[in-house]
């Protein structure tokens, strides 16, 4: 719970701090030059955040050294200064003395660098005392595992914690380093308590495959500690804990906190717009029609699996007569239980519109794998390879498959398999522009569906 709150609130507080820095710097220079605030100041503040996000110079964390943070911040500051100067020359033509420019740049550079380095130092102190720490499972009672365990003890400010080292399936010989047992003896519930799995590549390949499969099933990040001389670096994401390198195997774009922040900002803004301007009149009007069509509630609430398999209440317009088989028998487009208006809602996909409420409260995203009823997941989980990978992030109102016209009733194993492949492709290739493209494609499909049924 604490880690979840930290991930949610820290980016907001961090960006608010940067806003205060640039706001303060701007007001100091306005007072120094006896100038009034104008829309140009707002434009330059927005420009700073765009450039900062583009260069990722805002990224601070347990695996980023202060020297790298300093260099990336300077690069961003220089680019911002240059671009601001060009825009001023082309469009605004404000005249400043050289001394004023030097003072303004020095003040802004100093405050921004001081702020970022201070936040980084505070986070190190916070992690050193146990805050935002990652509970790590180390597999490999050899030089790899023992060295990594020692580095975690030596540098607590990095925020990695481990009680010792596991073997895969062999009993450990007596040693001075903490031995925690065998990996294969751990239950899923015990494994789910870990935030990260590290394993040595000295372990047998079959054992490595089993570790990765188990991590994917439980949606735990997994990395292996390599003998670097034998690897092609272009195929992996390489990081370090102090002096110990590790290779991340299943890193995805949405593992980045800034990408998650961008996606959540897009979700929140878009869903709020839909709730205010569409659902505010759609729910009352459709509600009256649904009530006239058949007895029962306006909204149909169903338990579905979402982020990391957690169950949530998915909201839809009710399209069927009330029946006791709604969770056990999946409906197709010609289901006898569908009301006349319900069939229109289902075929046009307008029945999904209340799910913007799910997006607003954070259970879903605008774009992501479609959440399935629990029974449907149970039917396909053991039949389709990598099925649980689609639960690594939040489910969506629409997804890549839906934007390509594949929606509604799932008629075969091959149909579900293709959708899972598209979900995984989406995760591997995510960008905010990819989300926008999927939303636009879905919108045009929705329009065609609505007008074809009128």
Give the pLDDT band (50/70/90) at residue 450.
low
Q: Does 67 have pLDDT greater than 90?
A: no
pLDDT of residue 234: 40
Among residues 134, 164, 130, 125, which one has the least CA distance to residue 146?
Answer: 164
> CA-CA distance, 442 to 366, in Å (whole number)?
11
d(CA 330, CA 325): 8
pLDDT-derived band at 117, boundaries 50, 70, 90: confident
Query: How far is the C-alpha of 360 from the C-alpha of 365, rounded, in Å?
Result: 8
Q: Where are the domains of the chain?
A: 2-128, 134-251, 257-453
Q: Is the pLDDT of residue 361 over 50?
A: yes
Mean pLDDT of 82-101: 70
CB-CB contact of 44 with 51 (8 Å):
no
Structure tokens at 153: 């003890």
Q: What is the pLDDT of residues 3-39, one digit of tens each?
A: 666 766 777 788 788 888 888 888 887 787 777 777 7
> Cα separation of 197 and 71, whole Å?
31
User: What are the E-state strand segments in 294-333?
Assistant: 299-305, 311-317
Determine the CATH number of domain 134-251. 3.40.50.720
Mean pLDDT for the chain overall: 83
Give 28's contacts (C-beta < 8 A, 6+ positions apart).
Answer: 107
The yes-or-no verdict on residue 97 having pLDDT over 70 is: no
212-241 pLDDT, tens digit per residue, is 999 988 999 999 887 764 444 444 567 777
Cβ pair 267, 359 in contact under 8 A: yes
Q: Chain-centre distance of CA 221, in angstroms?
A: 13
Minimal CA–CA distance to 211: which of 154, 155, 168? 168
- Identify whether the C-beta of residue 411 lies closer than 8 Å to the C-beta of residue 331: no
> Which stretches of 240-373 are DSSP H helices?
257-274, 280-293, 340-348, 355-361
Report CA dihedral (353, 257, 53, 39) to the nearest 10 degrees. Answer: 60
To the nearest 10 degrees (0 to 180), the angle between helices 66-87 and 39-55 is: 140
358 pLDDT band (50/70/90 cuts)?
A: very high
Half-sphere exposure of 405 (CA within 13 A, CB side): 2
Half-sphere CA count of 207, side-chain side, radius 13 A: 18
Give the pLDDT mean for 38-56: 78
Does 323 or 183 have the greater pLDDT score?
A: 183
> H or E segment at 212?
helix 205-218
Residue 76 has, within 13 A of its CA and on its CB side, a CA count of 24
pLDDT of residue 277: 93
Residue 244: which residues within 8 A CB-CB, separation 6 or more? 147, 148, 151, 225
What would you report as the CA-atom Rg of the chain, rounded to the nearest whole angstrom?
26
Q: How many helices (H) and strands (E) does the chain have?
A: 15, 12
Per-residue pLDDT of 236-290, as tens digits, reads 567 777 778 777 777 788 888 888 988 999 999 999 999 999 999 999 999 999 9
């Amino acid at each position: 719970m604490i880690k979840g709150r930290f991930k949610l609130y820290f980016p907001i507080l961090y960006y608010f701090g940067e806003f205060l820095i640039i706001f303060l710097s701007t007001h100091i220079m306005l007072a120094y030059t006896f100038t009034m605030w104008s829309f140009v100041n707002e434009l330059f503040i927005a420009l700073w955040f765009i450039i900062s996000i583009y260069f990722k110079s805002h990224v601070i964390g347990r695996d980023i050294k202060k020297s790298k943070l300093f260099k990336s911040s300077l690069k961003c500051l220089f680019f911002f200064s240059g671009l601001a100067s060009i825009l001023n020359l082309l469009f605004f033509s404000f005249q400043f003395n050289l001394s004023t420019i030097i003072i303004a740049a020095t003040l802004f550079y100093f405050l921004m660098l001081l702020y970022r380095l201070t936040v980084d130092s505070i986070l190190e102190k916070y992690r050193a005392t146990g805050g935002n720490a990652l509970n790590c499972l180390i597999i490999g009672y050899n030089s790899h595992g023992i060295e990594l365990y020692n580095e975690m003890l030596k540098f607590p400010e990095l925020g990695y914690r481990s009680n010792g080292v596991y073997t895969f399936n062999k009993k450990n010989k007596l040693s001075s380093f903490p031995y925690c047992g065998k990996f294969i003896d751990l239950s899923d519930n015990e494994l789910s308590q870990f935030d990260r799995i590290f394993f040595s590549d000295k372990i047998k390949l079959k054992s490595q495959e089993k570790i990765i499969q188990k991590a994917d099933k439980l949606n735990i990040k997994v990395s292996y500690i390599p003998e670097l001389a034998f690897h092609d670096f272009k195929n992996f994401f390489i990081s370090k804990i102090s002096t110990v390198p590790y290779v991340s195997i299943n890193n995805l774009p949405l593992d980045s906190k800034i990408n998650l922040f961008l996606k959540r900002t897009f979700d929140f803004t878009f869903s709020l717009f839909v709730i205010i301007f569409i659902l505010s009149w759609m729910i009352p009007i459709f509600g009256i029609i649904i009530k006239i069509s058949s007895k029962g509630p306006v909204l149909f609430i169903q338990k579905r699996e979402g982020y990391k398999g957690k169950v949530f209440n998915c909201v839809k317009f009710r399209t069927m007569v009330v029946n006791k088989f709604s969770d056990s028998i999946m409906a197709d487009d010609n289901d006898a239980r569908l009301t006349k208006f319900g069939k229109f809602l289902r075929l046009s996909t307008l029945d999904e519109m209340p799910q913007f409420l799910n997006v607003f409260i954070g259970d879903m995203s605008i774009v992501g794998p479609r959440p399935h009823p629990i029974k449907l997941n149970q039917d396909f989980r053991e039949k389709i390879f990598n099925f649980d990978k689609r639960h690594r992030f939040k489910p969506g109102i629409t997804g890549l498959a839906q934007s390509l016209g594949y929606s509604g009733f799932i008629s075969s194993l091959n149909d579900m398999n293709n959708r899972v492949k598209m979900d995984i492709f989406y995760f591997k290739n995510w960008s905010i522009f990819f989300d926008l493209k999927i939303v636009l494609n879905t919108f045009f499909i929705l329009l065609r569906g609505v007008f074809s049924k009128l």
